[in-house]
Chain A
Amino acid sequence: MILTIQQILFIVIALVVLISAVLVVTTRNLFHAALFLVVSFFGVAGFYVLLDAGFFAAVQVMIYIGAISILFIFAVMLTRDVITSARGNSQWIAAAVVAAAIFIIAAILLGPAALIIRGREFGNVQWSDPNGPAATSATVIGDLGRGLVSFNQYAVPFLLGAVLLLVAMVGAIWVARERRSRDMAAERAAAAADDIGSDTDQPVQEELPLPDNSMATEKH
């Protein structure tokens, strides 16, 4: 069997996505995990390009790499010690089993569905049809736009999406305020401790609090 260029590219991208995804869950450094996740996202954008869905590729890069991974990295930096905190997890076997089960179910359900949608037979799969119509052109993006605002298509889900974003904002602020009041309590406690005259060894930095004394002292 001779592979076409698209098939070779697909295999290469799939390998990149898979390997980096595995590294995300196996690496012990949380920041590295986030970076491997970025690589994985980038590979998925490559899939969209191979599917001629340029709009989704751009959205993938913009939202997932430009926004979600930044969010992840900020979240990573909220954890106490970034490098060593991935201390193995006693539930990983259960997690692996569940993930595998979901994957198999999804493959069984979605695989044939995708083939049926493309109007092809099961045994005779062609990954990319060079003679097929280009899926995403300017008109397709325009159709998507028209669909988003027409009532017999997606107008209602579209507006519900906006409401969902609003709810997400409210939730985020609620969580953040909780955290902030807790932070302030911690700061007050720290200030009280300073008054008593405990260690003043830490560097005083406005935006880089070192609440974790253990780390600083271990190194000495």
Chain B
Amino acid sequence: MRTDFTFVAVMMVAAVLMMGVALVGAALLRPKKPSKAKLETYECGMETVGDAWVQFRAQYYIFALIFVLFDVGGVFLFPFAVAYNSLPLYAVGILSLFILILLGSLLYAWRKGVLQWD
């Protein structure tokens, strides 16, 4: 296990090195003639008004919340899936109950209309 993750770490370092070399190499090769107009934020030729860093709508937050719940629920299922072959039938019942409760929460959200993007 430890050596397996060593390779993941090595891979991360190698990928950073390779991409970093590409970025630095390009930085050495390419011309650099900035001008004021070139450095403006692109907005289809319009002059930009203010920052883009403004208040966003709440709906994104709700979808992210629903996602977090399902992600957490989904992660619980994986250890079960690994043990699946050696489990008796009633264990499947418990798991089904777990998943059905998750499905229930999804149906509740649906019923309340928060899954409707508008």
Q: Which residues of A contact B (CB under 8 A)?
A: 31, 49, 52, 54-55, 57, 59, 62-63, 66-68, 70-71, 74-75, 77-83, 134, 136-138, 141-146, 148-150, 155, 158-159, 161-163, 165-166, 168-170, 172-173, 176-177, 179-180, 183, 201-203, 207-212, 215-216, 219
The residues of A that contact B60 with a CB separation of less than 8 Å are: 74, 77
Chain A min CB distance to B112 (Å): 5
List residues of chain B with CB under 8 Å of any chain A CB.
1-2, 4-5, 8-9, 46, 49-62, 64-69, 71-73, 75-76, 78-84, 86-87, 91, 94-95, 97-98, 101-102, 104-106, 108-109, 112, 114
Which residue of chain A is the closest to B100 with respect to CB atoms?
A162
At the interface, is chain A mostly helix, strand, loop or mixed? helix
Q: Which residues of A contact B73 (CB under 8 A)?
A: 162, 165
Out of A49, A54, A80, A165, name the residue touching B69 (CB < 8 Å). A165
Contact A169 B62, beta carbon cutoff 8 Å: no
Q: Write 29 A-B pairs (CB below 8 A) sorted by A numbering.
A: A54-B1, A54-B5, A63-B71, A63-B72, A66-B71, A67-B71, A82-B53, A145-B84, A146-B86, A158-B94, A158-B98, A159-B98, A162-B73, A166-B101, A169-B105, A169-B106, A169-B109, A172-B66, A172-B69, A173-B108, A173-B114, A177-B112, A177-B114, A183-B57, A203-B46, A211-B55, A212-B54, A215-B50, A219-B51
* B55, A212: Cβ atoms closer than 8 Å: yes
A79 cross-chain contacts in B, Cβ below 8 A:
55
Question: Could you say which residues of chain B place their CB within 8 Å of the CB of A166?
Answer: 101-102, 104-105, 108
B97 touches A134 (CB 8 A): no
B61 and A158 contacting across the interface, CB-CB below 8 Å: no
Contact A68 B68 (CB under 8 A): yes
Q: Are A165 and B72 in contact (CB under 8 A)?
A: yes
Closest to A211 in B: B55
- The answer to whether B76 and A134 touch across the interface, beta carbons within 8 angstroms, is no
Give the nearest-CB partner of A163 in chain B: B101
Query: Looking across the interface, which residue of chain B has its beta carbon closest to that of A180?
Result: B58
9 further contact pairs, Cβ within 8 A, besides A70-B67, A134-B2, A203-B49: A79-B55, A83-B53, A143-B83, A148-B79, A158-B76, A169-B106, A177-B112, A210-B50, A219-B50
Q: Which of B53, B57, B106 contacts A31 (CB 8 A)?
A: B53
Q: In the complex the two chains form, is A52's CB within 8 Å of B1's CB?
A: yes
Q: Which residue of A lies closest to B69 (CB)?
A: A165
Are A159's CB and B58's CB within 8 A?
no
Q: Which residues of A contact B53 (CB under 8 A)?
A: 31, 81-83
A168 / chain B contacts, CB cutoff of 8 Å: 65, 69
Complex CA–CA separation, A161 to B57 (angstroms): 30
Known: A71-B64, A162-B98. Is A80-B55 also a contact (CB below 8 A)? yes
